A and B are shown apart, each in its own frame.
Chain A
């Protein structure tokens, strides 16, 4: 069965600092991977998705970027964090036929 790992679980960073959140998937190959952000008390916003190594699609223009250096690794980054980047970041796996699986999330607070 598939599992998704995210780290760190929580993160407090100052404004202007860099960011790197990592997501890894086990039990599947060539997955479609996704990054979502959830602001406090809000729904989920799709940030990026990837159908393969080095293939990244961005849903909204913003201060973040994503990379997929390996088949089962998806990284969310920023060079300089903004206050508005605070939120709950979720990585997810999906394919055309199967239900999606979400990671446990990373709670990011930018001060």
Chain B
């Protein structure tokens, strides 16, 4: 079953605006990762935040993690048309043995218009 759920399911903004996507999950995690997927393509890893971290930055991306609320957010600042894509969060919880097991949310479809 899906571990995470993104909110909103779809987001449409104008170029230059900020985009915020949220992710909620259910079980304890080792880390949480955000990915981007352009239409019909493979996934591109954006950022990983560990369970003992609260905030992480990478370029125009800012990720926060609140383990007490079991939630994370991805902020894209000064969005560009090229940011148009689907964004997924994935949680890494311990599975059988020593396997780390990524479980994905349902994704947020971001549309950035000129």
Please, which residue of chain B has its CB at the minimum distance from the CB of A46? B103
The listed residue with most A CB atoms (<10 A of its CB), out of B97, B102, B106, is B102
Instruction: Flag if B41 contacts A105 (CB, 8 Å).
Output: yes
Q: Which listed residue, A44, A45, A57, A107, touches B95 by the CB 8 Å rule? A: A57
**Stretch of A12-20, A69-77, A96-104 lying at the B interface:** A96-104
Instruction: Flag if B42 contacts A43 (CB, 8 Å).
Output: no
Instruction: Flag if B42 contacts A100 (CB, 8 Å).
Output: no
Residue positions of A touching B, CB distance < 8 A = 32, 34, 36, 42-46, 49, 51, 57, 88, 90, 92, 94-96, 99-105, 107
Given contacts A46-B104, A95-B100, contact A101 B95 (CB under 8 A): no
Residue positions of B touching A, CB distance < 8 A = 2, 30, 33, 35, 40-45, 48, 88, 90, 92, 95-107
Please give, as numbers and ranges, the residues of chain A lying within 8 Å of B106 by CB-CB distance: 42-43
A-B pairs under 8 A by CB, number: 63
Given contacts A96-B30, A100-B33, A102-B43, contact A43 B99 (CB under 8 A): no
Q: Which listed residue, B40, B96, B107, touches A107 by the CB 8 Å rule? A: B40
Instruction: Flag if A100 contacts B90 (CB, 8 Å).
Output: yes
Instruction: Flag if B100 contacts A105 (CB, 8 Å).
Output: no
Instruction: Flag if B101 contacts A46 (CB, 8 Å).
Output: yes
Instruction: Flag if B96 contacts A92 (CB, 8 Å).
Output: no
Please give, as numbers and ranges, the residues of chain A lying within 8 Å of B88 by CB-CB distance: 43-44
Instruction: Flag if B105 contacts A57 (CB, 8 Å).
Output: no
Instruction: Flag if A51 contacts B99 (CB, 8 Å).
Output: yes
Please give, as numbers and ranges, the residues of chain A lying within 8 Å of B33 by CB-CB distance: 99-100
Please give, as numbers and ranges, the residues of chain A lying within 8 Å of B40 by CB-CB distance: 88, 107
